[in-house]
Structure 1
Amino acid sequence: MPSDKLRVFTRYLPFLLKYGLKFLYQRLQATVHRRTYCSLPSPQTVLVIGGSFTGVWLARRLTESLPSGYKVILIEKNSHFNYLFNFPRYSVLQGHEQQAFIPYQGLFENAPEGIFEQITDEVICVREGDVELRSGKCIQYAYLVIATGATQSPPAKLLASRKGEACAELRVLQTRIKEAERIAVVGGGAVGVQLSADVKSFYPDKKVVLIHSRGQLLSNFGVRLHEYVVGKLAALGVDVLLGERPATPGDGKWESAELILKDGRSELFDLVIPSTGQTPNTSIIAGFAPSSISAQTGRILVKSTLQLEGDGKFDEVFENIFALGDVAETGGPKMASAGMMQGEIVRENILALIRGEQLAEYTPLALEGALKLRLGKDECVMYIQEDDGTDFMFPGKNGNVDLEAAKAWKMFGAVFEEEANE
C-alpha cells in the first residue's frame, strides 16, 4: 500500500502544477504592474481591516494588481505582524518571544509608489462609505474588506497590541510555566495540544494534563489524527482527560486553581491555562449590518462571491463590502491557507467590479484545511481530510527550536538578525 505522502502527492499534483503556473503568472503580472501603475491625485480606496495572514495577503496582492486611480489602505491595531503559529512554543521557550513579532514594512517596500498606506489603529464602526477609527479619524472607502478574524484566549492570541507589551505577556506565561509543578491545559484544539506537548518536552519532570470537553482531541479533524496525537502525548508523558468541562478562572488569567471533574473529583493545579473557543470579531458591523451576522455562529454571512449577505434590502449597499477568513461564514476551514485562497477571490472580484466584469465564486478545497501540528520539541504531523472522510497523515520533524522563524521574517522582507535582538 502506498504511503500517505505518496498518495497525497499523487492526489494533489494537478492542483499543485496549476497553482505553480498561476503563481509564476502572478509574478509576471506584478512586475508589469509595478512599472505601469501611476499614482494619481485623490485615488479611490480599497480598505482592508485586519492585518493578520488573510488581510496582509490580500493587501499585498492588491498592491500588485489595482489599476491607477486606486490605492490600498490596511488598518491593523497591532504594531507588528503576530506570527501566531509560534505562540505556543514561545509561551514555553524563554528568550525567543520577540521573534514572533515581525515588522510590516518589508512586505510593501517594493509596491508602486502611492498604492499602499498602513494605519496602526482600530476600526470601531463601519458605515456606508466610511469607517471610524478609535483615534476619531474617519476613512472613506470605495471597497471595504473585513478580515478581522476571531478573538482567542492567550496564548493563542495576545491582549497587547504593541510588540514590547506582547513580549512581556509571553514572558509572564513562560515564568509561570517554569515555576509550576502541576499544569492543566484546558482545551484540546491545535493550540492546547501543541502547548501541552511543548511544556512536557522542555520540562519533562512537570505533571501536564490536557483536558478536553469532547471525546476526541482536535474535534474538527478525523479520528485517525486523534489516535495518533493521543499516542504521541502519552509517549511524552502528558495525561489526557476527555469529556471533561471543568470551570476555569473566569478572568482568563494564568493562575492556580482547583478543577472539579464530572465524577466529583477535584484536582489542584499550580497553573491552569485556558485554551478554548473563538469569538468572531464582528462588533464593527453590528450596528451597520446586524442581519449579516449569523445568529448561530456569530460570524459574518457572505455570498459565494464573499460579498456581505443581507436580508435583500441591502444588496446594493453591500455590493462593495467583502468579508473573509475566520470572521466570515465562508464554508471553508478556519485556517490561514483558506483565508489566503479566499483573499484571491476577493481580489479578483474587486477588480471585476471596477471593470464591470462577472464575479468569481469561492469553492473550498480540502487542501486549504491541511494541518501541520507540532508535537513537542522534535516531532510534528501533517494531516489532510477530504469531504468524503478520506484522509492523509504523515509524521515529520520540526526544524530548529525557533520553528524556522527566520524563514517567516524573510517572507516578510524583514531582517531577522537585527530585529530579533531588540
Structure 2
Amino acid sequence: MPQRVVIVGGGFAGLAVARRLERRLPAADVRLVSPDDYVLYLPLLPQVAAGLLPPVAVATSLTRRLRRTTFVPGRVVGVDLDRRRVVTTSITGRREILDYDRLVLAPGSISATMDIPGLREYGRGMKTLAEAQFLRDHVLGQLEVANASDDPEERARRCRFVVVGGGYAGVETAANLQLMTSDLARRFRRLDPSLVQWHLVQHGAQLMPELGARLGEDTRRVLERRGVHVDLRTSLTAVDDGSVTLSDGRRLATETLVWTAGVAPNPLVSRLGTDTVKGRLVVGADLAVPGHPEVFALGDAAAVPDLATGGGAVCPPTAQHATRQAPIAADNVVASLQGRSLRPYRHHDLGLVVDLGGPDAVAKPLRVDLTGWPAQVVTRGYHLAAMGAPAAMARVAGNWALHAAAGSSPVRLGFLTSSSGRLAEFEHTDDYLTPEQACRAAEEGDDPVPGAAAGVPTTSG
C-alpha cells in the first residue's frame, strides 16, 4: 500500500506542502482536504471589498496547481490520533473517514470574536472571499438606500461605517472602502458626500503596533486627512440592529460594523486533545507535534518556535511564515517516513507592507520605514511576488491598471436578497468534534476508505 499523507487546509501552507510532496514522494497517496477549491490571498481581500479587484483575481484554483494530489472537498471536523484517522464532512454533508500514515495540519484561522452582545448577530467579517464580496454589496446598498431616503436620520445612519480593529486588516479595509465610498457618493445626485463617515476603532494606543510608532502615526495622519475618525484606546462594548456602543460611552447610529479585531486558530486545533498556547497547537521547531511524531502542524494554527528571535517567542500568524514553513513541513514528512532526522524551521521576517489605497501605503521591508509612493511600489510588488502563480499575478496587475484608468464600477451582485452576510453565517465553530466524539466517529462512521473518501477524483494539472 502506498504511503498515505493527509493535509488539512488548502491555504498557501497546505498547497505548498502538497506540491512539494508531489515531487519528493511521487508514489505516495496524498490527500488535501479543504471546503474551498481555491487558495485565497488574504492580504488583498480589502481590495476585493473596495472593488479594485474581482474575487477571482485573489483566488487560485487548487485543481490547477495540484498534479498528483487528490483534492477532497470538505471540512475536517475531528481527528482520532490513536487510530490515525481523520473525520471529515463532505460539502455534500456526508461524513467520511480518511486513514493516514502522516498528517499535516494547516487549517488556518477564523475571526476572533469576543463575548460582545450582538457581535455575531450584527457584525461582518473580512476573513473569507464571500465575506469581502458580501461587505461590498452591503456598503453599496447602504449608499443607494441613503440616496433614495427622505429621512435625515436614516441617511446619516446608513452613511456611517464602523471598523473595529487597528491591525493590518482593519486599517486596509477602512482605508480602501473609504476611498470607494467617497468616490461613489459624488455620483449620487441626492446624497451629500460629507454624510459618509468612517470610524476606525482600536483598543490600543496606536495603529498596527508591529510596524512601529512612526509608521503607525503616519498611517493615522493619512486616514484622518481623508476624514476617517480614528478612535484609539477605545473598544466595542455592544452592537444592535442600528447602532454600536463604544467603551467611551458613545453610541453611533450605523447599519455597518466590520469586525477585524484579530484572528483565532481554527477550532479543530482545540479539539485534538493536545497542548496549545493561546489556542495554537504546540509543536517543535521541526513542526512535529510532541508525542505524535506522525503529525505536523504549521501556519496560523501552530505555535512554531521562532528560532530567529529566540527567548521563547513563537512565529506570528502571518502568510509569510506559513509559506516558508511549508517546505520544511513537507521535507520533514519525507524524512520521518524514510527514517532520517528532521530539520528545524528558522526564518528572519522580511518586513510588512500595508496598502492604504491610491498613492498611499506604509511598508517596512528589511526594517526600513517607507511611506507614500515608494511604499506603494514595494507593497504591490511584494503582493504580486507572493501570489506565486503567473496567471494570478497577471490578473491582479491587469485589474490594478484597469481600475487606475477607469475607476470602480458600483454594481451590486445581488447577494443580499436572501442572506445577511454577517459573522454568524460564515463561522463554523460548532462543526468540530471533541477527541471522544472523533474517536466514536472514526470507529462507527462510514467504512474507512484507505487514505481517502470514496468517489473523489484525483486532480489533474
Number of equivalent positions: 343
Correspondence list, 1:302-317, <5 A: 302-309=283-290, 315=291
TM superposition shift of 1:326: 0.5
User: What letter matches 1:394 in structure 2?
Assistant: L
1:132 to 64, 87, 93: 87
CA distance in 1, matches of 2:28, 2:40: 28
Match in the other structure for 2:246? 260
CA distance in 2, matches of 1:245, 1:363: 36
CA distance in 1, matches of 2:69, 2:210: 37
- The secondary structure found in structure 1 opposite 2:284 is coil
TM superposition shift of 1:246: 2.1
TM superposition shift of 1:405: 7.8
1:103 and 2:79 aligned: no
RMSD over aligned Cα, in angstroms?
3.1
Match in the other structure for 1:158? 128
Match in the other structure for 2:9? 50
Correspondence list, 1:23-422, <5 A: 42-66=1-25, 68-93=26-51, 96-108=54-66, 111=67, 115-128=68-81, 129-134=84-89, 135-152=94-111, 154-158=124-128, 169-176=134-141, 178-179=143-144, 180-204=158-182, 205=193, 206-249=196-239, 256-262=242-248, 264-283=249-268, 286=271, 289-294=272-277, 297-309=278-290, 315=291, 318-330=292-304, 331-367=314-350, 370-384=351-365, 391-395=367-371, 396-397=375-376, 408=387, 410-411=389-390
- The secondary structure found in structure 2 opposite 1:320 is strand
Change (3 A) 1:168 1:229: closer
Change (3 A) 1:125 1:61: same
Match in the other structure for 1:163? none
| Cα-to-partner distance string for 1:266-285 (whole Å, 9 max, x where unaligned) | 33234222211212114256
CA distance in 1, matches of 2:383, 2:328: 29
CA distance in 1, matches of 2:355, 2:53: 20
- TM-score, with length taken from structure 1: 0.73
Match in the other structure for 1:23? none
CA distance in 2, matches of 1:359, 1:275: 37
Unaligned runs of 5+ in 1: 1-41, 161-165, 310-314, 386-390
User: What letter matches 1:181 in structure 2?
Assistant: C
TM superposition shift of 1:83: 2.7
TM superposition shift of 1:415: 9.3
| Cα-to-partner distance string for 1:154-191 (whole Å, 9 max, x where unaligned) | 5421385xxxxx67634433424645311111110111
| Cα-to-partner distance string for 1:256-275 (whole Å, 9 max, x where unaligned) | 3132342x333323422221
Change (3 A) 1:71 1:416: farther
CA distance in 2, matches of 1:414, 1:120: 25
CA distance in 1, matches of 2:108, 2:287: 15
Contact preservation (8 Å) 1:91, 1:155: no
TM superposition shift of 1:104: 1.7
CA distance in 1, matches of 2:171, 2:393: 30
**Percent identity over paired residues:** 24
Contact preservation (8 Å) 1:53, 1:339: yes
Unaligned runs of 5+ in 2: 113-123, 145-157, 183-192, 305-313, 400-412, 414-461
